[in-house]
Amino acid sequence: MIDIIKRLCIVLGIATFLGILFFSTTYTIAAETENVPTEWKENFIWPTVGEITDFFGTRDGYHYGIDIAANEGTYVVAVTNGVVSRSYYSDTYGNVVFINHDDEMETVYAHLHERLIEEGQPVVEGQLIGTVGSTGRSSGNHLHFEVHHASWNVDKSEAIDPLIVLSQEPEHIYASLQPKRGEAVPASSHQNEAANKTITVQKGDTLWSLANSNGVTIDQIMEWNELNNELIYVNQQLHLYPARTVHNVKKGTR
């Protein structure tokens, strides 16, 4: 009889604990959701494609974003229109980009392998801003993505769960597979008015590095050389026409 009572007490104790845990979690999510503007909820595209390996609020409440694991070099895009407020290297965030969205929201893209935009540069939804990496305080290739009310602060007191604002529509989840690469501007605005030229691909070259160093776009290089994809190889000959148009997306230098 005593054993039965003990077992009953244990069962009731576990049930009570689970009930409190469920209520607490539900209340927290509900309260947070109520503080998010209606127009934000499930309204933005995803910054990259991969597997979510860590969620908002873990690590005793000190994880202020989500982690999306992906291979190094996977595209990272802006989730909506904005202006780059910061683009630099941080000891913790590694290569990181901050984007301000109409002074109402700021998004953070951390641990990037490459930063492909500069501070003060306007961006549009789906524009390529960097690639997935493992820079800074990171244990593997992934994007750490944060969303903040108004602007980011050291205490991250205005952080909200990114999953509340990211859309569940398939075309929004996979939007980064076909990123926008910025708009072409008249060649007259570029300092390098060099004539047509042929370059030889060296070890370590990528279409990104060649495009940025020659003031052209990846799409242009692919078109001029009739490339079907972005793969290039050492000693490959590529034809460039840098005087025609230039690309306004530049790799960050800070």
In a 10 Å sphere around its CB, with 0-12 CB exposed, 13-18 middle and 19+ buried, how is residue 163 labelled? middle
Look at residue 230 in the predicted model and tell me its pLDDT. 85
Look at residue 166 in the predicted model and tell me its pLDDT. 96
Domain that holds residue 163: 38-177
| Domain end (from 177, 201, 220) | 177
Helix, strand, or coil here: 99? strand
Tokens representing residue 23 in the block: 């209520």
Domain count, the chain: 3
Helix, strand, or coil here: 104? coil
Distance between CA atoms of residues 54 and 68, nearest Å: 7
Q: Is 233 domain-assigned? A: yes
Look at residue 32 in the predicted model and tell me its pLDDT. 55
- Write the CA distances from 135 to 88, 94, 196, integer angstroms: 12, 4, 37
Same domain, 111 and 143: yes
Which segments of the chain have a pLDDT < 50?
Answer: 6, 8, 10-31, 183-195, 243-254
Look at residue 183 in the predicted model and tell me its pLDDT. 45
What stretches of 134-189 show up as alpha helix (H) in DSSP? 162-165, 170-173
- Write the CA distances from 228 to 119, 215, 222, integer angstroms: 32, 21, 7
Distance between CA atoms of residues 118 and 242, nearest Å: 21
User: What does DSSP say about strands 237-240 and 197-200: parallel, antiparallel, or unpaired?
Assistant: antiparallel
Same domain, 21 and 97: no
| CA contacts within 13 A on the Cβ side of 156 | 15
Tokens representing residue 168 in the block: 């569940």
Same domain, 42 and 9: no
- Torsion (CA) 23, 26, 28, 32 in degrees, nearest 10: -160
